[in-house]
Amino acid sequence: MLNEFHPIAARIAEALKARGEKIAVADGSTGGLIAAALLTVPGALQFYVGGGIVYSLRARDVLFDLPRDAYAGMRSATSEYAVLQARAIRDRFGAEWGIAETGSAGGSAHPLGVASGISACAVVGPGVEQVRVTETASDDRIGNMVTFTRAALSLLDGVLAQAGGQK
């Protein structure tokens, strides 16, 4: 699966390096696959500063260090929640770009009642905030994780292509 993601990760890496910018990643139901894909590129330290897997409220609190009221009225697997997380991971790691995915991969009941097969991914960067919602209508956990990762990397690749070359 990482072999499949490597070509797009390499394009993302080249775009970020050309701009002299870095990214931080908050994986949710992708379980670390977004970060893992980016880390397939040799020399990833040139464009990747870090991130984490936000899989619980405790992980969210530690990783983002936002007050609880920052999430007021929000629910996981939504565009608004993904944007908040992308901004937070970017800011917390001091990067120019942040990407965050939040969703429900399936295979078990989501604690907040989110239906299986829903993912919201946000990319934020200099003058850019874009979101993509992916719905598979499937309970196939591994299949959803792969589909959500593919969608996230595609969104990031497209955003960087639109943003152009060097800053």
Question: What's the whole-number average pLDDT of the chain?
Answer: 94
| Lowest-confidence pick of 29-33, 104-108, 148-152, 154-158 | 104-108
27, 53 Cβ separation under 8 angstroms: yes
| Tens digit of each residue's pLDDT (9 = 90 or more) over 86-103 | 999 999 999 999 999 999
Q: Report the pLDDT value the prediction gives residue 112, as an integer from 0 to 100.
A: 66
Q: Which residue has the higher pLDDT, 61 or 99?
A: 99
In the chain, the domains with their CATH numbers are: 2-136+156-163 (3.90.950.20)
Q: What percentage of the chain reaches a pLDDT higher than 90?
A: 81
Residue 100: closest CA among 124, 79, 121: 121
* pLDDT attached to residue 107: 78
CA distance 78 to 126: 22
E strands in 54-135 = 97-104, 118-125, 128-135
pTM for the model:
0.94
Q: Which residues contact 41 (CB under 8 A, 6 or more apart)?
A: 6, 9, 10, 13, 47
pLDDT band at 114 (very low <50, low <70, confident <90, very high): confident
